[in-house]
Structure 1
Amino acid sequence: MSNVDWQGKHVTVAGLGVSGIPAARVLHGLGAVVTVVNDGDDERSRAQAAELEAQGIAVRLGDGDTLPTSTELVVTAPGWKPGKPLFAAAAEAGVPVWGDVELAWRLRGQDGREPAPWLAVTGTNGKTTTVRMLASILEAAGLRTAAVGNIGVSLLDAVLGDEPYDVLAVELSSYQLHWAPSLRAHSAAVLNLAPDHLDWHGSMEAYAADKGRVYEGNRVACVYNAADPATEDLVREADVEEGCRAIGFTLGTPGPSQLGVVDGILVDRAFVPNRQKQAQELAEVADVNPPAPHNIANALAAAALARAYGVEPAAVRDGLRNFRPDPHRIEHVADVDGVAYVDDSKATNTHAAEASLAAYDSIVWIAGGLAKGATFDELVTGCAKRLRGVVLMGADRALIREALARHAPEVPVVDLDRTDTGAMSEAVREAARLARPGDTVLMAPACASMDMFVNYNKRGEAFADAVRARAAESA
């Protein structure tokens, strides 16, 4: 169905929301006969349905499992699980299922323009930061680009909009990759792999396999994390175009076909004339904001993709210098009485929290929330020597408390048994009581936020508000 006449094609769009509604409108505009099916039938869904129906798009609320008659294609929201009856019915009827990423990929060039190549990024953690770093580097090189996909501009807008792009920096989740079978990127990176979303994928193997789809058909470079052998394994298993290279990144001294760090300098031994003997300086570690180890790794991955596209070293340096991280990602909030307060509310799983905890020497850790099936023994074992104290909050805090009792029994722990709006203020007060000058109070919860907050942004804002209130009291 690539570059075909969509006039009269019967397409079912699964799910109202940030991907389903734009997909329905785009397909309707191309002449398809669109029916949207949605599990929910609440007030918000009815309002969204009314807007679509006014445009001539049929909507079925509360009926997300039934495949409409005459459906020739299903376009699904990425979060819909593969085991839903709707997809089983589609498979039985021989109807293909695409995600919004697959739809955008297939619609590239629909307007007759040369499609912009995609530089794609996935991984358990660091995707958004890396994609935004990459877009900043590409912009510094004078290229027309955008950070798209699971971030920023929607992919459908990017491929169908009036703005012609030279190249796109694309963030892709495991959900999106699962539903994007024909995606073929110019180059792609898998930043890391750790257990996450296993309730959706069913197993770690299935989760990794979906992440690995990003390498399929790559033309120039498959970028992997030398410190995470599972990412290199995915490169080995990928079916790529002839001549496509495996490019590693490391926080240590790089070998041939790698990017790494030497004496505080980010260097390239992959995209140089003689990678056995030469290295190209790209930027200083100080150019990375913030220069925490995991963020330096993100910068190296972004640099590798940019270099694969032919970007000059000076643009890598300038792009990293220009980059400003999004809120709630290891964000310094304030110094109060000699103690630094850092908001990493985005650390919603143990892998992200591990990276955040590794960035500081002496920490009062604020943690807890919804564990999503995670265990915490390995995380606590790795950070125990850095902990001055721990403040726990949220629904699954007992899991972290038990891991601390097993592996760091000497560390003082405050267990907050409250979930009201004042809980974060108390957490900050207790953390301040435990902290000493030179310490860092780090909120890196290692858990999702929805037990107490609408999302991790609101959790981060509550932390920042509590810290600023304490700073005002201390002034």
Structure 2
Amino acid sequence: MTAPAPREGLDHGGADWAGLRVLVTGLGVSGFAAADALLERGCEVRAVDAGSAPAMTERARILEILGAELLLGESGAAAGADEAARERTLRGIDLVVTSPGWRPDTPLLVAAAEGGIPVWGEVELAWRMRPRENPAPWLTVTGTNGKTTVVTMLATILRAAGLRATAAGNVGTPLLEAVLHPDPYDVIAVELSSFQLHWQESVSPLASACLNIAPDHLDWHGGAQAYRAAKGRVYARTQVACVYNEQDPDTMHLVEEAEVVEGCRAVGFTLGVPARSMVGLVEDVLADRAFVEERATSAAEIGTLADLERAGVPAAPHVVADALAAAALARAAGVPPAAVRNGLRAYEAEPHRIATVARHADVTWVDDSKATNTHAAAASLATYERVVWIAGGLLKGAEVDDLVADVVPRLRGAVLLGADRDRIAAALARHAPDLPVIDVTRTDTGAMDEVVARAATLARPGDVVLLAPAAASMDMFPNYGARGDAFAAAVHRHVASSGGPGGSDGTGGTGPSEAPRE
């Protein structure tokens, strides 16, 4: 199935886009990139956003100079809330391009669809704006957890092979900017969220991967099945290899259900010994039995566990799994084994993902603010033996009982903050009634200092104080990066006030971050 188009031939950047009347909903990073690209091609752009953040206001000012019609603030809110305003907003529109944050049941999007107006996401737009000649192939990655690690790891491997490559989409460069870059890329590693996948219909990646499926964003999608279906779209029309997780059978089922290009193969990754058409571990060797000629009897070494160590610390199992997934995608793109290994050695983990902030008084402080759902938090907590857990935020409709029941044996105590902290507290009370739990009610800028101070009272020598919220950050922070930065800064202040070196025992903080998306 191909997404409907308002005009024939809109399948490459040099097509006749001029005069097309487009409504862009949302002026975040991706919405701005979409509006800018459309204006550059002669489209008439109307943009709507109810927000008023300084960054959005600056983007709107630029678009207004370029000739866009803007409905912002109260006018933008009215376009979504009032039927007459919606009708005016959609009048004369040929196409709607929506941003990932806009739910499909948003009245303005529903009205557009009911009125026969095509609705594309920015991923669909980016695919249709690729150059007609020799467009860079896409290697697409989704999953509840690990997709940013895999995509950035993959980009490092591709560059180690001498390719001009970037990580784009839900991380790094906005996808439209990558597609339209004046110095074209050889290949693009694309992270796709379930929000983005919901709206795409035409993308045909060279290779694709769904790393895992666990309940997340159920409020946005309307249920687990809709969320699963969105994730499964990553495999549609894949050309060479659909990469799945042997330890997560649902990802294999999604491959089986996908409509792919004739000749596309299913390639699994596993932490065990790989069967044919899989990558996996043979003792301490990362082995490829999928992209070798004699895969029935031989394998290619694409790295070792030592290549994934950092500062002498062995990689956690989920990091090894991420490396195998990235390696499979790279091999599908023709990257030789030596380049895979060199890329894995060169890779540096992204901020706020199990990052040691400080070690003081035999207590280790770790920032995993990127653990914005229960599945990610479970992987993070499983890394350590004894944990003071800092959790809470927006649970996005997810249940926490299974997570809490599994991790209770590792917990020294818990410090809870954020909008849905009471739900985590209730689960802890059910499964660990004697566990010390501290409830931090503050939501101001000093809240994280209180969280850190209270966590310090629970920690014992040898413990890890772990920020793994299992929840999104937007109730208190602009994004998970800002939450992690606040945690790191509070830890450094606490250590300094406790007579420590004012930071960490030889380890740095995570540093400021670029508005990551959850």
- TM-score, normalising length: structure 1: 0.94
Aligned to 2:511: none
Q: Which moved more, 1:328-337 or 1:263-272?
A: 263-272
Is the CA contact 1:448–1:456 (under 8 Å) kept in the aligned structure 2? yes
1:411 paired to 2:435: yes
Aligned positions, number: 473
1:321 paired to 2:345: yes
Letter in 2 for 1:136: T
Is the CA contact 1:337–1:474 (under 8 Å) kept in the aligned structure 2? no
Aligned to 2:94: 72
Q: Structure 1 residues 28, 418: CA separation in 2 closer, same or farther (over 3 Å shift)? A: closer
Is the CA contact 1:289–1:325 (under 8 Å) kept in the aligned structure 2? no
Q: Deviations along 1:65-118, whole A, 9 cap, x unmatched? A: 3453332221111221212333333333332111111111011115xx310100
Is the CA contact 1:87–1:97 (under 8 Å) kept in the aligned structure 2? yes
Gaps of 5+ in 2: 1-9, 81-85, 501-518
Q: Which moved more, 1:271-280 or 1:300-309?
A: 271-280
Aligned to 1:102: 124
For 1:171, which of 191, 196, 206 is the aligned residue? 191
Aligned to 2:398: 374
Is the CA contact 1:293–1:358 (under 8 Å) kept in the aligned structure 2? no
Letter in 1 for 2:131: G
Letter in 1 for 2:157: I
Distance 1:392 1:160 in 2: 44
Q: Deviations along 1:302-332, whole A, 9 cap, x unmatched? A: 1110011111111111111111112111001
1:18 paired to 2:18: no
Distance 1:97 1:313 in 2: 41
Is the CA contact 2:217–2:398 (under 8 Å) kept in the aligned structure 1? no
For 1:35, which of 43, 46, 62 is the aligned residue? 46
1:58 paired to 2:82: no
Aligned to 1:451: 475
Distance 1:156 1:364 in 2: 42
Q: Structure 1 residues 397, 93: CA separation in 2 closer, same or farther (over 3 Å shift)? A: closer
1:6 paired to 2:17: yes
Aligned to 2:495: 471
Gaps of 5+ in 1: none
Give how far 1:183 is off: 0.7
Q: Deviations along 1:118-171, whole A, 9 cap, x unmatched? A: 000011111111100000000001111111111212221222221121111011
Aligned to 2:175: 155
1:236 paired to 2:247: no
Q: Which moved more, 1:284-293 or 1:203-212?
A: 284-293
Distance 1:45 1:460 in 2: 23
Distance 1:126 1:208 in 2: 16
Q: Structure 1 residues 383, 271: CA separation in 2 closer, same or farther (over 3 Å shift)? A: same
1:145 paired to 2:151: no
Give how far 1:174 is off: 1.0
Give how far 1:46 is off: 5.8
Letter in 2 for 1:76: T
Aligned to 2:367: 343
Instruction: Say which SS state the counterpart of residue 146 (structure 1) adopts.
Output: strand
Give how far 1:246 is off: 0.8
Q: Structure 1 residues 42, 336: CA separation in 2 closer, same or farther (over 3 Å shift)? A: closer
Instruction: Say which SS state the counterpart of residue 436 (structure 1) adopts.
Output: coil
Query: Percent identity over the alignment?
Result: 59
Residue correspondence of structure 1 range 102-251 to structure 2 within 5 A: 102-110=124-132, 113-251=133-271
Distance 1:45 1:446 in 2: 28
Give how far 1:41 is off: 6.7
Distance 1:270 1:245 in 2: 9
Aligned to 2:484: 460
Give how far 1:47 is off: 5.4
Q: Structure 1 residues 364, 45: CA separation in 2 closer, same or farther (over 3 Å shift)? A: closer
1:283 paired to 2:313: no
Is the CA contact 1:15–1:76 (under 8 Å) kept in the aligned structure 2? yes
- TM-score, normalising length: structure 2: 0.87
Q: Structure 1 residues 8, 346: CA separation in 2 closer, same or farther (over 3 Å shift)? A: same
Q: Structure 1 residues 39, 423: CA separation in 2 closer, same or farther (over 3 Å shift)? A: closer
For 1:87, which of 86, 105, 109 is the aligned residue? 109
Instruction: Say which SS state the counterpart of residue 139 (structure 2) adopts.
Output: strand
Letter in 1 for 2:161: A
Aligned to 1:296: 320
1:441 paired to 2:461: no
Give how far 1:220 is off: 0.6
